[in-house]
Amino acid sequence: MKTDIVCLGDSIVFGYGAPAGGGWPERSARRLGKHIINSGENGDTTDEMLGRFEWDVVRYQPKEVVIMGGANDILMGIKQAHTRETVTLLVERAFRSNIQPIIGIPISVDAKMLKQCWYSCWTVEETLERFRAFHDWLENFCKKRAIPAVDFYREYPDRMERITDGKWYVDGLHPTREGYRVLADIFCETYRSYQQG
C-alpha cells in the first residue's frame, strides 16, 4: 500500500497516553481515508528526528511528511537557535527527497502541572515563553517558505476551552484522550483546507 503521509515527531505524535489507534495520526488516517504512518517516538528531540529521517520517513516514499517536534528541545534546555537550524534541515531533507513537508506547530504545556510530573530546566514563565517564541518562529518560517502549517499551538486551547472543564493534559505535557481527538480535528480540517488550495 502506498504511503500518503508520514507523521514524524515526539510523544505528541506517537500518542503517549492514548489507547492503541487513539493518537491523532491514526484518527486522521481513518477520517481522511489516507494511509498515514505514525513515526512518533517518545522523548525525541529534533536532532533525533533528523537522525532517523531516512529510515522512518524516506524509505516509505510518502507524498507528504508532517514534521512536529521541539517540545523536548525546550524542556531539555537545547538552545532555540539549534532547534531552528534542525527544523530547517528537516524541511530541506524532505524537499531533497521529493516529499512535501507540513509543519505541525506543537501545543504548549500546562507548565505548573508539568513541573509536578516532568522535568523542565526552566521556570514556569520561562517554559511558556519559550513555547510562545518557538510558535512565532515556526509560523514566520512557514510563511516565508510557503510551507503548510498546522497550528496546534493556537487551535488546541481554543477548542479544548469550549468542550472541557479545563482538563486538557494528563500530566502538563500530553493531551487527554479527548485532547488527541481534538488534535485530529485540527489536523484534518487544516489538511483539507490546504488540499483544496
- Helices and strands of the chain, counted as H and E runs: 10, 5
- Would you tell me the crossing angle of helices 124-145 and 152-163 to the nearest 10 degrees? 120
Q: State yes or no: pLDDT of 119 exceeds 70.
A: no
DSSP 119: -
Q: Among 74-78, 100-104, 182-186, which is the least confidently predicted range? A: 74-78
Work out the average pLDDT over 17-29: 96
pLDDT tens per residue across span 77-110: 999 999 999 999 999 999 999 999 999 999 988 8
Distance in angstroms (rounded) separating the CA atoms of residues 92 and 96: 6
**Domains of the chain, residue spans:** 5-195
Reference 6, options 76, 101, 73; nearest CA is: 101
| CATH superfamily assigned to domain 5-195 | SGNH hydrolase (3.40.50.1110)
Place of cell 505524535: 13
Q: State yes or no: pLDDT of 192 exceeds 70.
A: yes
- The values of phi and psi at residue 109, to 5°, are -130, 165
pLDDT tens per residue across span 43-64: 999 999 999 999 999 999 999 9
How is residue 136 written as a grid cell?
512565532
